[in-house]
Structure formats: C-alpha cells, structure tokens
Amino acid sequence: MSDSARRELTAAVLGAALAGGLALSAAGQGWAQVTQNRPVPLPPVTVALTGTDAAPLVSAAGLVLLAAGVALVAVRGAGRVVVGLFMAGTGGTLGWSGVRALAGGLTGAAAQVPRVGQGPDQVSVEVTAAWPVVVVLAGLLGVGTGLFVVLRGRHWPGMGRRYERPDAGRAADARAPRPQTDEDRAQAAWQALDRGEDPTVQAPSPAPGQRSDPGVS
C-alpha cells in the first residue's frame, strides 16, 4: 500500500470515528431544560431533555459511523464504496436531526417527557443549542467522509494484503530444498545398509542422455 493511499484510508477511518464519537457524546448531553409551571402551591417540575430523548436517531447514527470506520479496513473495492454511501446517508440523518432540534423540534419532544406536558399548565423549554450544533457538525463530517470514500476508496488496497506476503514466503521456503544435515546423512547410510548396499561406495554418475531414475532400466 502506498503512503498516500495509507494516509487517505487513515483519514477516512478517523473521520468516521470522530463523527460517530461526537454524535454519541452529544446524544448523552442535555439539549434542553423543560419546566412545567403548576398551580400554587405546587412547585414547578423541571426535567432535562437529553439528545437521546429529543432525537433517538442520533445515538444509532453514531454507532453506525463507528462500525463503518471498522468496515473501511475490512473491505475494499466496490464494498468500500457501499460503506461510503452508507456513511454519507447516516451523516445526512445526523445533520437533519440537529437542524430539526434547532428549528423547534425540542418543544414537541418535551411533551413526551414523563410528568411534563400533561394538562393545561404552561410548559417552557430552554434550549441548549451547543449540542444540536455538534450533531450538525458530526453529520457534515459524516457526509464529507462518506463522499470522500466513494470517490477515493476504490483505489485503496485492502489492509489484508500485507498479511498474504508471509504466507507466500512460507510457501516458497517449503518448495526450496532443505540443506542436508549430518543426521540426514546418517539416516541415509542406515537405509542403504538395510537395502544391502554399501553406503561408502558412491553411485556412478549417469551417462549423458541416460536417465538417473533407478526404477527404469
């Protein structure tokens, strides 16, 4: 694998891992603080709305991008292009989830929180925009990395190729004749004695054009 191809593959894997990690990190944070004012003397109810509650697809998309980063190393050729398309689609889902939260989707999600949004009492939602923005950035990174894989990934050799070279070397070593040792010569002498031959007498060299196969007269 050339140095440029190795750097491109490493960048793609790191991009997928970073996008997935940002998505998972943001999903566990509080995206909004939901407060329901109740009639006096009842105190207001305040609940933190996390990214998992507001946008369940964010966590799933983060896991998919992490898995895609591993798949980029395991596959090659057309399979890597398919992974890139899947990454781009997952990144688009992340971006849509973040934009939807910033555009007022958290108010609708607040109504689904237990003990909040029930009855005619007033409900206020204080949005923390930083985490939806992080999700949007993770989505853009996922889309960009996925398209980069689609355009360039087909030309990256598979990482598994470097593990094929030792096997080829072992096969060549198996075909090469092994140097004869003293133990081999001793065993050959005993075998000659068993056949009734004198191991000290060297067999005559075959004449030119004559086969040296002892089984052919």
All structural domains of the chain with their residue ranges: 3-160
CA distance 76 to 96: 29
Q: What angle do CA 96, 101, 106 make, to 5 degrees?
A: 145
Q: What is the pLDDT of residue 161?
A: 47
pLDDT in tens, the chain (217 residues): 577 888 889 999 999 999 999 999 999 888 877 777 766 777 767 777 788 888 889 999 999 999 999 999 888 888 899 999 999 999 999 999 988 888 877 766 655 555 555 554 566 777 778 899 999 999 999 999 999 999 988 888 765 544 445 554 455 455 556 677 767 776 777 677 667 776 566 555 555 555 545 444 4
Euclidean distance between CA atoms 158 and 172, whole angstroms: 23
Task: Say if residue 208 is exposed, middle or buried (CB neighbours under 10 Å; 0-12, 13-18, 19+).
Answer: exposed
Q: What is the pLDDT of residue 156?
A: 81
Distance CA 138, CA 71 (A): 19
| Contact in structure between 27 and 63 (CB atoms under 8 Å) | no
Classified by CATH at the fold level, domain 3-160 comes out as: Butyryl-CoA Dehydrogenase, subunit A; domain 3 (1.20.140)
